[in-house]
Structure 1
């Protein structure tokens, strides 16, 4: 792979190549990507979607929206630092083509901002709840009517693939979705493969999948434009865009450190115990005198969190540049933090978060409720859509259809597209709206 091609400014529908030197420096194409994501309705719904603590009423716990904003900030720093070093290594990118270090930062920031845009309500359990409906629930009846890959898309419903659908799906008046640059789409695609074969290797890019069968052509178009390397001759699988490693690292840094911080602030992790783990990560950079002047727990945690994030940003940049040649050849198969000298400290923090936060009673109870809510919504909406398509909709089905957006795929001949359309609608709901709709459908709390 080569950087000039990887930094493509092309957008869906472009007939001519976009030249970096011809860009308006006051409104760079990569920065437009960020704006388009942040003004999208799908991004706004993240303000009421679970990050760690579902439906938390406290004012300092992160939602998907605040998490995404923080990941984009970390991603921008990573991109700029890497961009500076890449331009030093390949000066023609700047001297001949006009690329700047901030271009890298803008690409990673936009992709990082969108990284959770396809996630359903109720955190990662929401993805599992959708998949469970098709794997072991009522949706299992559709297995024989779909191809193996279509059915696998549903059984392992993936927020990353749904995000790619949101960013690229055409509809009337909105051809090419948000029409992001191909460079940003490439950086967004952490798992550039289809749902089958499932985890064929231990390569980090094979951990999950990155697009539904309905977006296969769009994905191939982006991959070919960027010059991503094919990893399979029989199935659709490509090497990652190099900047996707930075998007992943930004996400890993934020959820590792900030989810841990949330656990401390909620009292799920004891302060003395937690601070020791953070100090182990920043021992080389901590100002002991300043630290001991801090009076409140929040201030102490905030100070250590800032140091930890800065430490890991610098470490990620070093790991990326050390392996840049292998990354361009598609030969680097790990998450960047997995090759960090702080791997042991990171794993210690994640282990505590799993035990004390992710498996806390509050989280588990509300995830259980999420399973019930999403299963019921899928069942009612899919039933109404399919009955309408078959011209045998009941009066109840007709009422239910009024709850769906106007741009749904009720009339589509493809069963797969109809079902996936419902999954996308449900996935775009906020936690509170999904519960509100569930209660209305079940006749609960109706005055």
Structure 2
């Protein structure tokens, strides 16, 4: 893979190449990507989607939106620092093609901003709730009517694949979705493969999947334009990651490691003295002890350690990427960047306590249970109505349910997979509160 292709400014529907040296410096194509994501309705809905605690009413706990903004800021720093060094290593990128260091930052920032845009309500438990409806719930009878990959898309419903669908799907009058640059779409794709085969290798890019059957041709077009390395044959082709994807992933890893931990402290789930010691262990080489000891309030101490921790991990991630850049571009770097961090032991300690004290807390578990019930009820209600419509067996209740669906949800297609995916995608776009409100309206109950 080469950087000239990987930095493609092409967008869906382009009939000619977009050249970096011909770009308007006041509004670069990669910066337009960022703007299009941030103004999208799918991004706005993240303000009411779970990051740590579902349906949290406190003002200091992160939502998917605040988390995404923070990941984007970290990603921008990573991209700019890496871009500066890459332009020194490959001067023709600047001298011949006109690329600047901030182009790398803009691509990573835009992809990082969108990295959670496909997550359903209630976080990862929402993904599982959707998947289990088809795998072991009422939707299991669809298995015999779908191809193996179509069924697997639903059984292992994946927010990453849903995100690519949201960013690229065609609708009447809206061809190519947000029409992001192919460089940003490539950097967004953490798992450039279809749902089957599952985990064909131990490579980080094969850990999950990122392409629904409905978008496989769209991603093949992106991958071919970017020159992503192909693996496998025929229907089982998968791709190497875009190198900048490693920076998007690192930005996410850095933020959730540090900031989820911070939320746990603010929620009182982790004792302050105990928790701050973990952060101090991470920044022991750079902390200014006199300055830290002068801070009188917990908020100030936590803010100082958070900023220092994130900066420490950014510098380490840049070092790892640059040391392994050639292997990454050859598709031979098989783990996440932070797995090679010299601070991995400290990171693992922080993640372990977050899992024990936050992700498994009673408040989180109880609200995830609520999420399961809400999402599976909504799926069954809407899918039943849609299927009854298709088979000319509508009840009056079904007719009322179908009127609730937005007009842009196509439930009349003759293709079963598309009907199921359109309904699932509609429900996945609901915010946590909107899903609960809709559930309450349909059941006349209060959750």
- Which range, TM-score by smaller chain? over 0.9
Residue of structure 1 in register with 2:350 after alignment:
349
Uncovered stretches (5+) of structure 1, i.e. residues with no partner: none
1:28-427 maps to which residues of 2 (within 5 A)? 28-234=28-234, 235-427=236-428
Cα deviations across residues 167-199 of structure 1 (Å, max 9, x unaligned)? Answer: 000011110000000000000000000000111
Q: Secondary structure at the match of 2:17?
A: coil
Tell me the distance in 1 between the aligned counterparts of 2:237 and 2:179.
23
TM normalised by structure 2 equals 0.99
SS of 2:335 mapped into structure 1: coil
Q: Distance in 1 between matches of 2:175 and 2:82?
A: 33
Mean CA deviation greater in 177-186 or 295-304? 295-304
Q: C-alpha deviations, 1:126-177, integer Å up to 9, x for none?
A: 1111001111100101000000000000000000000000000001111000
Match of 1:15 in 2: 15
User: In 2, distance between residues paired with 1:296 and 1:268?
Assistant: 18
TM-score (norm 1): 0.99
Deviation at 1:445, TM superposition (A): 5.4
Q: How far is 1:391 from its partner?
A: 2.1
Count of paired positions: 446
Give how far 1:110 is off: 0.3
How far the C-alpha of 1:213 sits from its partner, in A, is 0.2
In structure 1, distance between residues paired with 2:388 and 2:75: 45
Q: Distance in 2 between matches of 1:410 and 1:364?
A: 33
Aligned counterparts of 1:290 and 1:393: Cα–Cα separation in 2: 69
Question: Take 1:408 and 1:134, find their aligned partners in 2: how far apart are those partners?
Answer: 20
The C-alpha deviation readout for 1:256-283, integer Å capped at 9, x for no partner, is: 0000000011110111111111001001
In structure 1, C-alpha distance between the alignment counterparts of 2:45 and 2:161, rounded to whole Å: 18
Deviations 1:364-403 (A, max 9, x none): 0000000000000000011111111222211111111111
Match of residue 6 from structure 2:
6
Q: For structure 2, list consecutive stretches of 5 or more residues without a partner in the other structure.
A: none
- Deviations 1:6-62, CA, capped at 9 Å, x for gaps: 000000000000000000000000000000000000000000001001111111000
Q: CA deviation at 1:236?
A: 2.3
For residues 107 and 391 of structure 1, what CA distance do their matches in structure 2 show?
48
